[in-house]
């Protein structure tokens, strides 16, 4: 049998309207739709080769062999979808701190979806790929596309997918990732959101307001109102983290330096600098701004954080095949 192989690159995305909770654990269907920005700075390269002599999938992350039950489950799905019943060797390299709230699982499963299906000789549309990637990691559905992306929540496998959001502005947007802590987080996103869905007394209100936030942030993107856009994104992130504090047992992803970063952004706004923050499931803070304000923002952030903890990202592309 011919060795089938392919390599793909996918970039991380940062949610501006958060997905926090599933209505179907198996299909990974979210409680609410979400919106994100794919970034050029952080990405995952994944190489997949199907080998007929293997007795199970072999997975390497950053050069080290790992046993990951999620990868095995996902590859079983790939075999089911493609009809190629062969095990694979998977080599993945993360150009992003793993499990530190910088969405490494999003780029990982988006890259794996394209590499694994292409290696099996199958070509899928990006919409179809986003459905496949969703089954590995919810946020991966959005990393299939570049720039601003909406994940339509849907009610079943076919109706839950990502799609690009067209923008009519010249913001020249940037995102500064402040890496407060690059170590793996203590509470995984999956575990955290499940606890919140099951125990937070405010969860019903979250779903309602998140859907309103999505509608309003898309209007701001269309109308070119950066202030409205940033205000909604920041508010939505804080509401998500408030859910964690209201869960039982309660938990949070903040560290002291997270609050320092948030306060620094708020201080800059009082000085007339248009910048806003967001945070995913991790302590790292991302600052949303326009490129024209980047120098003054970095100058202020350098008062609190060393240069090697600040990463500037621009909008990034969707998933793509690499020459291997």
Mean pLDDT of the chain: 94
**Same-domain check for residues 24 and 85:** yes
* pLDDT tens-digit readout, 192-231: 999 999 999 999 999 999 999 999 999 999 999 999 999 9
Within a domain: 323: no
Number of domains observed in the structure of the chain: 2
Same domain, 196 and 290: yes
Question: Is 90 exceeded by the pLDDT of residue 46?
Answer: yes
Residue 200 within any structural domain of the chain: yes
Q: What is the number of other CB atoms lying within 10 angstroms of the CB of residue 190?
A: 16
Question: For the segment 117-129, what is each residue's pLDDT rounded down to a tens digit?
Answer: 999 999 999 999 9
Are residues 202 and 247 in contact, defined by beta-carbon separation less than 8 angstroms? no
Q: How confident is the model at residue 51 (pLDDT cuts 50, 70, 90)?
A: very high
Predicted confidence at residue 283, as pLDDT, reads 92
- Band of pLDDT at residue 190, cut at 50, 70 and 90: confident
Same structural domain, 191 and 147:
no
Do 68 and 132 share a structural domain?
Answer: yes
State yes or no: pLDDT of 39 exceeds 80. yes
Residue 96 has pLDDT above 80, yes or no: no
Range with the lowest mean pLDDT among 2-6, 16-20, 84-88, 286-290?
2-6
Q: What average pLDDT does the segment 12-24 reach? A: 96
- The β-bridge partners of 10 are 44
Does residue 107 form part of some domain?
yes
Residues 197 and 107 in one domain: no
Taking a C-beta distance cutoff of 8 angstroms, is the pair 138, 272 a contact? no
Assess contact for 47 and 119: CB atoms under 8 A: no
* Residue 257, pLDDT score: 96
The answer, yes or no, to whether residue 266 has pLDDT greater than 90, is: yes
36 and 80 fall within a common domain: yes
What's this model's pTM, rounded to 2 decimal places? 0.95
Is residue 321 included in any domain, yes or no?
no
> Given 110, 136, 168, which residue is the final one in a domain?
168
Give the pLDDT band of residue 104 (cuts 50, 70, 90): confident
The confidence score (pLDDT) of residue 159 equals 98
CATH code (residue 268): 3.30.70.890
Pair (80, 53) in one structural domain? yes
pLDDT tens for each residue of 304-323? 999 989 999 999 999 999 98
Over residues 242-259, the pLDDT tens digits come to 999 999 999 999 999 999
Q: Are residues 138 and 188 in the same domain?
A: no
- Residues 284 and 178 grouped into a single domain: yes
What distance in Å separates the CA atoms of residue 142 and residue 151, rounded to the nearest whole number?
A: 6
Range of the domain at 183: 173-313
Q: Quickly count: other Cβ atoms within 10 Å of residue 26's Cβ.
A: 8
First to last CA, the chain: 19
**pLDDT for the residue numbered 89:** 98
Sorted by sequence, the CB contacts under 8 Å of residue 99 that are 6+ apart come out as 105, 184, 185, 188, 282
Task: Give the pLDDT band (50/70/90) at residue 152.
Answer: very high
Q: What sign for the dihedral angle of Cα 176, 235, 215, 27?
A: positive
Strand ranges (DSSP E) for 96-208?
A: 148-152, 161-164, 173-178
Name the burial class of residue 71, with classes exposed (0-12), middle (13-18) and buried (19+) by CB atoms within 10 angstroms of its CB.
buried
The pLDDT assigned to 221 comes to 95
CA dihedral over 211, 217, 221, 224, signed as positive or negative: positive
Residue 104 placed within a domain: yes
Q: Are residues 177 and 297 in the same domain?
A: yes
Instruction: Tell me: pLDDT of 181 over 90.
Output: no
157 shares a domain with 40: yes
- Strand pairing class (58-61; 88-95): parallel
Kindly report whether the peptide bond that precedes residue 204 is cis, defined as omega within 30 degrees of 0: no
Residue-level pLDDT at 76 = 98
Same domain (yes/no): 91, 183: no
């Amino acid at each position: 049998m011919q060795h089938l192989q392919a390599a793909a690159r996918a970039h991380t995305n940062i949610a501006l309207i958060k997905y926090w909770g599933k209505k179907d654990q198996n299909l990974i269907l979210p409680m609410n739709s979400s919106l994100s920005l794919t970034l050029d700075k952080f990405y995952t390269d994944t190489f997949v080769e199907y080998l007929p002599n293997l007795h199970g999938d072999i997975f390497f992350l950053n050069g080290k062999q790992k046993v990951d039950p999620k990868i095995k489950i996902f590859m079983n799905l790939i075999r089911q979808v493609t009809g190629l019943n062969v095990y694979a060797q998977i080599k993945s390299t993360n150009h992003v701190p793993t499990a530190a709230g910088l969405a490494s699982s999003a780029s990982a499963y988006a890259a794996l979806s394209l590499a694994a299906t292409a290696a099996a000789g199958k070509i899928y549309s990006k919409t179809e790929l986003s459905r496949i990637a969703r089954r590995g990691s919810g946020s991966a559905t959005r990393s299939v596309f570049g720039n601003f992306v909406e994940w339509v929540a849907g009610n079943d496998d076919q109706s839950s997918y990502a799609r690009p959001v067209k923008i009519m502005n010249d913001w020249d947007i940037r995102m500064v990732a402040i890496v407060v802590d690059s170590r793996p987080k203590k509470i995984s996103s999956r575990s955290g959101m499940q606890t919140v869905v099951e125990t937070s007394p405010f969860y019903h209100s979250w779903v309602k307001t998140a859907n309103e936030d999505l509608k309003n942030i898309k209007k701001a993107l269309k109308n070119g109102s950066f202030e409205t856009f940033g205000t909604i994104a920041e508010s939505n992130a804080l509401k998500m983290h408030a859910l964690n504090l209201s869960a039982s047992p309660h938990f949070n992803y903040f560290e002291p330096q997270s609050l320092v970063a948030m306060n620094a952004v708020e201080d800059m706004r009082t000085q007339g600098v248009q910048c806003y923050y967001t945070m995913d499931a991790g302590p790292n803070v991302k600052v949303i701004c326009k490129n024209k304000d980047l120098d003054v923002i970095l100058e202020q952030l350098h008062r609190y954080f060393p240069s090697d903890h600040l990463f500037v990202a621009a909008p990034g592309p969707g998933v793509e095949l690499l020459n291997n």
